[in-house]
Amino acid sequence: MGRYQEIYDRSINDPESFWAEAAAAVHWHKKWDKVLDDSNPPYYRWFPGAEINTCYNALDLHVENGRGDQAALIYDSPVTGNLKTFSYRELRDEVATFAGALARLGVEKGDRVVIYMPMVPQVVVAMLACARLGAVHSVVFGGFAANELAVRIDDAKPKLIISASCGIEVNRTIEYKPLLDEAIQLAKHDVEQCIILQRPEHTCDLIDDRDIEWNQAISGAEAHDCVPVAATDPLYILYTSGTTGEPKGVVRDNGGHVVALKWTMQNIYNTQPGDVYWAASDVGWVVGHSYIVYGPLFNGNTTVLYEGKPVGTPDPGAFWRVISEHKVKVMFTAPTAFRAIKKEDSQGKYIKHYDLSHFKTLFLAGERCDPDTLQWAENKLGVPVIDHWWQTETAWSICANCMGIEQLPVKQGSPTKPAPGMDVHVLDESGHDVESGKIGALVVKLPLPPGTFPTLWNAQQRFFDTYLAEYPGYYKTADAGYIDEHGYVFVMSRTDDIINVAGHRLSTGGIEEVLAAHPDVAECAVMGVADSLKGQIPVGLLVLNSGTERSNDEIIKEVIQMVREQIGPVAAFKKATVVKRLPKTRSGKILRGTMRKIADSEDYKMPATIDDPAILGEIAESLGEIGYGGK
């Protein structure tokens, strides 16, 4: 038995002693009464009775243990030309002062604070200052539509909002203040105070008696100590899209979160204190919470806050520059970022311009990683490329190749095996385990490990109905997939992306794998559209590599033949079209459901998280050319 299996088995068979051991690495103001409260299933709580402060574990602890002069945060902004490094001591002092400013404005333990900011150091300071006071932060992606921000304001009911004058996207400035003002006007909840960071790239007008400029807010503020809170108290609310259109407020507690994330930094990501870790994401998403801000700081790492893109800031070598300049050991990003780089630089020429000798591992997550992208990254970078699977709700990996425990062989298309603490099963529609290799609903047996969400904000019944009701005793991930005979998990698609072609259940992800393997295809999406004969049939959208000179018709014929050869005629894959780009959320997820509705001429709601709404018009036109849509 390997080390991974031994550790994994212990985490499942004796979770209390396993997580108590992990919790010993964390600073507690008061120890727990028991490790796991299982008195009220299916609602479980970790470390009840304990008291802790998240900010203390992220900053003060390291200063007191002699890491005060080590770099905690590197701010790298190619869009503004700014580069700044904060030591642990400097970051602690800025956070303590800003916490004092918030306290002076009346923010106390348990109050909510909405943060609507770009990727600047102040967003990290604001999050940690809330944690320092025991206030609950809710970060909303900067530049989010006003009505969506208003919905979140009404749900969280913040004491105060922290924002900025603008965000910067490659070569355009997005004014945040008009969006914020409109959201406050739309919201039923009365927002009394806002702190606004004026950026030099664009300044905004402030509203008297409501808005305070950041520097004015901190002027004369006294450094505030960490406020101990219950381990089971909420640290943050993070809204994730709901199928009903109403966002779900995922709640994260304080105690289990510190324990789990600190444990992952060494055991999953194989980083030691002092190593440079870079999650190329945004603080508006769960990756930004877990692995730009909290996880690396709990572990004493140096974390990188990057205000830029994988291409265009200034070129497809942007990521390699950051890795080289800051001696990044481990990077974590979404597969879509690598597909963007591969599209612009399929030969990987830009990689050769940089010294990547410090770089050891690339982790990918956020959406399914097609084998072609994974293989390209492996070949060009010469380091292990690890696909891992997790969700906003879990805050950390459900499945991963735990590089700090034992590096298992990589199987393309699989995020490897369940992470310790995650008891993953594949169930059929009746809730029974299916045989290995057979596709079904991916679920995790309760109780979920520490760090995962205990509930939704002010919506316990919705929490139960959405995640726990369908498969009693399990958490429903809403992903579909299978587990092979060696225990490797394959996440094929969201449950609603399993299509039924003449009675055959097929994964759109499996068809996408075949399309993505074509040398001229940069990225692709497949969705099941309504068909009077077969119920549903798959339709493909292809984005081609830059500089491809072959005709679209030729490439489409080839991919159709590839699907026929590799999946079989049962797939009934006969229609595909070439598009310039795919509609995505700002975090890089492809909006397959919206495209399916366009193809089926169904009404759809403009997704709040869409990166560029104009793309949907282009998609409708392309689908119309092959006989779909019309609305």
| CATH (domain of 562) | 3.30.300.30
Confirm whether 253 is domain-assigned: yes
Residues 421 and 554 reside in one and the same domain? no
Please state, rounded to an integer, the average pLDDT across all residues of the chain. 93
Please tell me the number of Cα atoms within 13 Å of 280 on its side-chain side.
26
- Dist CA 598 CA 592 (whole Å): 10
User: What's the distance, CA 178 to chain centroid?
Assistant: 27
Residues 473 and 549 reside in one and the same domain? no
Q: What are phi and psi of 221, to 5 degrees?
A: -70, 145
pLDDT at res. 243: 46
State yes or no: pLDDT of 539 exceeds 90.
Answer: yes
Confirm whether 284 is domain-assigned: yes
Residues 322 and 212 reside in one and the same domain? yes
Please tell me the number of Cα atoms within 13 Å of 473 on its side-chain side.
7
Quick one: average pLDDT of 347-355? 96
Nearest-CA neighbor of 247 among 405, 140, 102? 140
We report the CATH number of the domain holding residue 339 as: 3.40.50.12780
**Domain end point (choices 481, 512, 542):** 481
Residues 249 and 367 reside in one and the same domain? yes
Q: How many domains does the chain have?
A: 2
Q: pLDDT-derived band of residue 244, with 50, 70 and 90 as boundaries?
A: very low
Provide the H-helix boundaries in 113-247: 121-133, 146-156, 177-186, 214-218
- Dist CA 87 CA 297 (whole Å): 11
pLDDT at res. 300: 98
More confident residue, 628 or 629: 628
Residues 552 and 462 reside in one and the same domain? no
Residues 123 and 237 reside in one and the same domain? yes
Quick one: average pLDDT of 393-416? 96
Confirm whether 386 is domain-assigned: yes
- Dist CA 386 CA 321 (whole Å): 21
Reported as a single tens digit per residue, the pLDDT across 294-321 is: 999 999 999 999 999 999 999 999 999 9
Which tokens sit at 519?
């040398």
SS (H, E, C) 307-325: CCCCCCCCCCCHHHHHHHH
Confirm whether 493 is domain-assigned: no
pTM given for the model: 0.85
Lowest mean pLDDT among 153-157, 256-260, 399-403, 564-568: 564-568
Lowest mean pLDDT among 55-64, 75-84, 170-179: 170-179
Lowest mean pLDDT among 23-37, 339-353, 472-486, 533-547: 533-547
Confirm whether 530 is domain-assigned: yes
What angle do the packed helices 146-156 and 177-186 form, to 10 degrees?
50
User: What's the distance, CA 505 to chain centroid?
Assistant: 28
Quick one: average pLDDT of 346-363? 96
Q: What percent of the chain has pLDDT over 90?
A: 76
Residues 558 and 518 reside in one and the same domain? yes
Report the Cα–Cα distance between both ends of the chain, in Å, rounded. Answer: 58
Confirm whether 488 is domain-assigned: no
pLDDT at res. 536: 83
State yes or no: pLDDT of 452 exceeds 60.
Answer: yes
State yes or no: pLDDT of 290 exceeds 70.
Answer: yes
DSSP class of 165: S
Phi-psi region of 612 (alpha: psi -120 to 50; beta: other; left: phi over 0): beta
State yes or no: pLDDT of 41 exceeds 60.
Answer: yes
| Beta strands per DSSP E along 348-452 | 361-364, 385-387, 389-390, 397-400, 417-418, 424-427, 440-445
Which tokens sit at 388?
């891992």
State yes or no: pLDDT of 505 exceeds 90.
Answer: no
CB-CB neighbours of 583 under 10 Å: 24
Residues 26 and 88 reside in one and the same domain? yes
State yes or no: pLDDT of 11 exceeds 60.
Answer: yes
Q: What are phi and psi of 230, to 5 degrees?
A: -65, 145
Quick one: average pLDDT of 205-226? 98
Confirm whether 489 is domain-assigned: no
Residues 512 and 476 reside in one and the same domain? no
Nearest-CA neighbor of 79 among 197, 171, 17? 171
- Dist CA 35 CA 114 (whole Å): 31
State yes or no: pLDDT of 503 exceeds 60.
Answer: no
Quick one: average pLDDT of 544-550? 89
DSSP per position, 228-246:
PEETTSEEEEEEE--TTSS
Domain assignment of residue 611, given as a range: 502-625
Residues 220 and 253 reside in one and the same domain? yes
Quick one: average pLDDT of 204-209? 97
pLDDT at res. 607: 75
State yes or no: pLDDT of 506 exceeds 90.
Answer: no
Q: pLDDT-derived band of residue 241, with 50, 70 and 90 as boundaries?
A: low
State yes or no: pLDDT of 502 exceeds 70.
Answer: no
Helix (H) or strand (E) holding 7: helix 3-13
SS3 551: coil
Quick one: average pLDDT of 76-92? 98
pLDDT at res. 448: 98
Bridge partners (DSSP) of residue 501 are 504, 535
User: What's the distance, CA 420 to chain centroid?
Assistant: 20
Residues 472 and 544 reside in one and the same domain? no
- Dist CA 343 CA 522 (whole Å): 5
What angle do the packed helices 371-381 and 508-516 form, to 10 degrees?
40
Residues 472 and 532 reside in one and the same domain? no
Which tokens sit at 493?
């698609």
- Dist CA 69 CA 415 (whole Å): 37
Nearest-CA neighbor of 140 among 120, 111, 161? 161
User: What's the distance, CA 540 to chain centroid?
Assistant: 26
Confirm whether 577 is domain-assigned: yes
